Amino acid sequence: MNPYVLLAKKRQGSELTEDEIREVARGAATGSWSEAQLGAFLMAVAIQGLSRRETAVLTEEMRVSGELWYLRDAFPGVVDKHSTGGVGDTVSLALGPLLACCGIPTVMLTGRSLGHTGGTADKLESIPSLDLALTRERTLSLLESVGLAVGIATEGIAPADRTLYRLRDQTATVSSIPLVIGSILSKKLAVGPAAIAFDVKTGSGAVFADPKESRELAQRLVDTSQDMGCPATALLTDMSQPLGSWVGHLVEVRGALEILENEGEPRLRRVTLALAEEAAAARPELGLSAVDFEAALADGRARQRFDEWAIAQGADASWIAAPDLQEAGFETVLEASRDGCLRAIDTQYLGQRMTELWRGAEGIDVRVGLRQEISLGSSVPQGTALARVFTARELSAEEKQALAGSFSVGETCPAPELIQARLSPSS
Ligand code: URA
């Protein structure tokens, strides 16, 4: 097949045949297409888009470019949850043990920090000795023993995505919705869950902040997943402020443990419980539609399962018995500059500033963090503490001003809806 002809066809906006789409994905996996040709394909897709059928074929071919784990053959009820990424989004850390202790085997392949959003893998690695390297055998053994496996996608899974992801980063095509779908789902479906619950973020801290785009992403994720034989639903959830009260690494582990101890930030708890319901509803044949997740939080089962899981994945047992969750030593208070109410947070900007503070020459300082004290819509007399920032050194006046600039105090402040929509596959 001639790449030149295929590229010209997509550039002009025509739909490609199955064989043509497969040719590109194979070209990425085997190196038979040059990086110039792949880059041109990515740009043509970013401009012209891909149809539902093209997206499913591309995703499938990327999926089969590497290892296939077929986890659902061994664990027919195994579910996965995926968040499109946000600030202070520590749902995965609480949700995994909650599902596992309620009899829903759960696997999550997590990622590193991306842009202004923190990565679940980086947050988990603030737990001493926790080992996120998974193989199929280790995943099966974890599912057998504690009902939960959390890791990072290995080299062997969807290698076509690694090539395409690197080239998307170089060609300003990272934000193309069909390419995002191919990237996320090829890895998820290579592992082989029986169902997926998506948490698609919308608002100022989301990767797709625009409500129309985030909704389209959510709908197309569940449609493509369904087209590929994996039932899925998505919640569209607000990211116009950090989800939990904490933003950082070790402090977000703390935020998740608070939820598992039946306390913590109400918004984080609500999204965690809503996704637990989605995961249960996606597997009706398990008869789990009446699982009482609130009871599992209240009676300590979920918290206990976190400990069992963490130790099974190599965490230092003495740390787990008495976790050291202390934040960094210098505290800076960001205050309301006038009377009013908290109208908006530029969550993307806030996430970027925090990323600069925790990223150092020796890697991530896991004790750096921010605690949001006031939620959007609350009234704030001048001088009210909006947030506290914890760093290893004193912040300069400019750094403090930049962080404070993320918060806008105004006169009218409608609080955003936390769970904005639930999407199931369209026919
Ligand atoms: N996560 C992925 O794996 N790929 C994307 O493109 C975006 C998020």
pLDDT at 114 over 80: no
Active-site option among 80, 89, 161, 238: 161
Which residue out of 152, 180, 199 has the highest number of ligand 1 atoms within 8 Å of its CB and is therefore the one to mutate? 180
**What SS3 class is residue 170?**
helix
pLDDT at 116 over 70: yes
Atom of ligand 1 nearest to the CA of 168: 6
pLDDT at 287 over 70: no
pLDDT at 283 over 80: no
Q: Is 320 in the pocket of ligand 1 (CB under 6 A)?
A: no
Lowest mean per-residue pLDDT among 32-46, 79-93, 268-282, 285-299: 285-299
Token representation of residue 409:
């105090």
Report the phi/psi class of residue 300: left, alpha or beta, with left for phi > 0 and alpha for psi in -120 to 50. left
Atom of ligand 1 nearest to the CA of 183: 4
CA angle 35, 38, 43 (to 5 degrees): 120
8 Å CB contact between 247 and 369: yes
Q: Whose CA is nearest to atom 1 of ligand 1?
A: 184
Which residue out of 81, 92, 183 has the highest number of ligand 1 atoms within 8 Å of its CB and is therefore the one to mutate? 183
pLDDT at 144 over 70: yes
In this prediction, what percent of the chain has a pLDDT beyond 70? 99
Atom of ligand 1 nearest to the CA of 187: 3
Token representation of residue 71:
């986890």
Reply yes or no on whether 187 is catalytic.
yes
CA angle 74, 149, 317 (to 5 degrees): 135
Q: How many other β-carbons are positioned within 10 Å of the β-carbon of residue 16?
A: 22
How many whole angstroms separate alpha carbon 221 and alpha carbon 176? Answer: 13
Q: Tell me the mean pLDDT in the region 258-264.
A: 97
Q: Whose CA is nearest to atom 2 of ligand 1?
A: 184
Between 288 and 375, residue with greater pLDDT = 375
Reply yes or no on whether 138 is catalytic.
no
Q: Whose CA is nearest to atom 6 of ligand 1?
A: 180
Active-site option among 187, 269, 367, 371: 187
Which residue out of 80, 108, 114 has the highest number of ligand 1 atoms within 8 Å of its CB and is therefore the one to mutate? 114
State pLDDT tens for residues 178-215: 999 999 999 999 999 999 999 999 999 998 999 999 99
pLDDT at 363 over 70: yes
* DSSP run (H or E) holding 124: helix 120-124
State pLDDT tens for residues 381-421: 999 999 999 999 999 999 999 999 999 999 999 889 999 99
Q: Give the Å distance between the CA of 401 and the centre of ligand 1.
A: 32
pLDDT at 1 over 90: no
pLDDT score of 288: 63
State pLDDT tens for residues 86-109: 899 999 999 999 999 999 999 999
pLDDT at 9 over 70: yes
Token representation of residue 304:
């206990």
pLDDT score of 366: 96
pLDDT score of 67: 96
pLDDT score of 154: 85
Reply yes or no on whether 168 is catalytic.
yes
Contacts 24+ apart (CB under 8 A), 311-317: 312/142, 312/145, 312/146, 313/130, 313/131, 313/132, 313/142, 313/149, 313/150, 314/129, 314/130, 314/131, 315/127, 315/128, 315/129, 315/130, 316/127, 316/128, 316/129
pLDDT score of 3: 94
**How many residues would you count in the chain?**
427
How many whole angstroms separate alpha carbon 77 and alpha carbon 95? Answer: 16
Atom of ligand 1 nearest to the CA of 174: 6
Which residue out of 81, 109, 113, 165 has the highest number of ligand 1 atoms within 8 Å of its CB and is therefore the one to mutate? 165
Active-site option among 183, 225, 240, 245: 183
pLDDT at 281 over 90: no
Q: Whose CA is nearest to atom 7 of ligand 1?
A: 180
Report the phi/psi class of residue 24: left, alpha or beta, with left for phi > 0 and alpha for psi in -120 to 50. alpha
Q: Is 184 in the pocket of ligand 1 (CB under 6 A)?
A: yes
What is the pLDDT of the chain when averaged over all its residues? Answer: 95
pLDDT band, very low/low/confident/very high, at 118 (cuts 50, 70, 90): confident
pLDDT band, very low/low/confident/very high, at 427 (cuts 50, 70, 90): confident
pLDDT score of 386: 98
Reply yes or no on whether 82 is catalytic.
yes
Reply yes or no on whether 183 is catalytic.
yes
Identify any residues that bridge with 82 across adjacent strands, giving them in sequence order.
198
pLDDT score of 115: 79
Active-site option among 10, 81, 82, 303: 82
**H helices of 287-326, where?**
293-298, 301-312, 317-321
pLDDT score of 361: 85
Q: Tell me the mean pLDDT in the region 73-97.
A: 95
Q: Is 180 in the pocket of ligand 1 (CB under 6 A)?
A: yes
pLDDT band, very low/low/confident/very high, at 286 (cuts 50, 70, 90): low
Q: Tell me the mean pLDDT in the region 297-312.
A: 98
Atom of ligand 1 nearest to the CA of 153: 3
pLDDT score of 210: 95
Please state the φ and ψ torsions of residue 391, each to the nearest 5 degrees.
Answer: -130, 170
CA 76 vs. chain centroid, Å, equals: 24
Atom of ligand 1 nearest to the CA of 165: 6
pLDDT score of 289: 64
Report helix angle 159-170 to 35-48, nearest 10: 70
pLDDT score of 301: 98
pLDDT score of 113: 78
